[in-house]
C-alpha cells in the first residue's frame, strides 16, 4: 500500500484520531493525579489530626469535669459521687494520654510539632497539680483542693488556648487543601477542554485535507465528463497523483 494511496490517508486519519483521544486522556489523568494527591493528603493527614484533636479536647474537658465533680462531692459529703468522679478522672487521663501519643505518631509539620510540644509541657505541669487536687479531695481538705484548682487554672487556660490554636491551624490547612483542590480541578477541566478542542481542530483540518485531496480531482473528472457528454471531447485534466484517483 502506497503512502499516497487513499487507504493510507484514511488509515492515517484514523490513527491520528486515536492518538488525539489518547493524548486528551493522558492530559486528563495527569491533571486528576494532582487532585488525587490532595485527597490522599487530606484523608491520611488532616482527617486523623482533626479527629484526634477532637478527642484530646473532649478528654481534657472530661478531666476538668471530673475534678469539679470531685470537689462538689466533697462539699455534699457524697462518697459515691466522689468514687464516680475518680473513675471519670482515671478514664479521662488514660484516653487523653493515648490520644496525645497517637497524635504525636502522625506525620507532623513544624507548626504541629511546636503546638504539640507546648501542649505536652503544659499538660505535664497540669497533671501534677491535678494530683494535688485529688490528694486534697481524698483527705477531705476542701480548702487545699480549691488552692490547687486555683494554681492549676493558669495551665488550664494555656492548654485550652493551645488547643484552640491547633484547631484554627488545622482549619486553615483544610481550607488551603480545599482551595488548591478546587483550583487544580478547574485547571484540569480547562486543560482537558483545551486539549480536546485542539485535537478536534487538528482532526478537522486533517480530515478536510484528505477530503479535498479526494474531491478536487473527482470534481475535475465530473466537469470533464459533463463536457464530453456535451460533445467537447478535447478535455485535459490537470491532476497528477499516485493515489487511486491519480
> What DSSP string runs through 145-213?
HHHHHHHHHHHHHHHHHHHHHHHHHHHHHHHHHHHHHHHHHHHHHHHHHHHHHHHHHHHHHHHHHHHHH
Q: Is residue 134 scored above 80 in pLDDT?
A: yes
* Confidence bin at 193 (pLDDT 50/70/90): confident
Mean pLDDT computed over 11-36: 66
Average pLDDT of the chain, as a whole number: 80
Give tens-digit pLDDT for 194-210: 777 777 777 777 777 77
Q: What is the mean pLDDT of residues 15-37?
A: 66
**pLDDT grade for 55, boundaries at 50, 70 and 90:** very high
In the structure, what pLDDT confidence band is assigned to residue 226 with cuts at 50, 70 and 90? confident
pLDDT higher than threshold 70 for residue 243? no
- The string of pLDDT tens digits covering residues 78-102 is 889 989 999 999 999 999 999 999 9
pTM: 0.65
**What burial letters (b/e) apply to 154-167, b meaning 16+ CB within 10 Å?**
ebbebbeebbeebe
How long, in residues, is the chain? 246
Give the residue with greater pLDDT, 56 vs 181: 56
Amino acid at each position: 500500500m502506497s503512502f499516497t494511496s487513499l487507504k493510507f490517508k484514511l488509515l492515517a486519519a484514523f490513527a491520528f484520531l486515536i492518538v488525539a483521544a489518547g493524548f486528551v486522556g493522558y492530559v486528563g489523568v495527569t491533571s486528576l493525579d494532582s487532585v488525587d494527591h490532595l485527597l490522599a493528603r487530606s484523608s491520611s493527614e488532616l482527617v486523623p489530626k482533626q479527629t484526634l484533636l477532637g478527642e484530646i479536647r473532649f478528654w481534657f474537658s472530661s478531666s476538668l469535669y471530673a475534678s469539679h465533680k470531685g470537689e462538689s462531692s466533697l462539699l455534699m459529703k457524697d462518697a459515691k459521687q466522689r468514687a464516680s468522679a475518680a473513675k471519670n478522672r482515671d478514664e479521662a487521663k488514660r484516653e487523653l494520654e493515648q490520644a496525645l501519643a497517637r497524635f504525636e505518631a502522625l506525620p507532623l509539620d513544624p507548626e504541629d510539632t511546636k503546638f504539640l510540644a507546648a501542649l505536652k509541657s503544659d499538660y505535664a505541669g497540669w497533671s501534677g497539680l491535678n494530683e494535688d487536687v485529688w490528694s486534697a479531695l481524698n483527705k477531705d481538705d476542701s480548702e487545699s483542693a480549691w488552692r490547687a484548682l486555683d494554681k492549676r487554672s493558669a495551665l488550664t487556660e494555656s492548654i485550652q488556648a493551645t488547643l484552640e490554636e491547633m484547631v484554627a491551624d488545622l482549619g486553615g490547612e483544610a481550607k488551603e487543601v480545599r482551595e488548591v483542590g478546587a483550583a487544580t480541578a478547574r485547571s484540569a477541566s480547562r486543560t482537558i477542554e483545551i486539549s480536546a478542542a485542539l485535537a478536534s481542530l487538528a482532526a478537522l483540518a486533517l480530515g478536510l485535507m484528505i477530503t479535498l485531496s479526494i474531491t478536487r480531482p473527482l470534481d475535475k473528472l465530473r466537469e470533464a465528463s459533463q463536457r464530453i457528454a456535451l460533445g467537447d471531447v478535447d478535455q485535459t485534466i490537470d491532476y497528477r497523483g499516485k493515489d487511486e484517483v491519480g
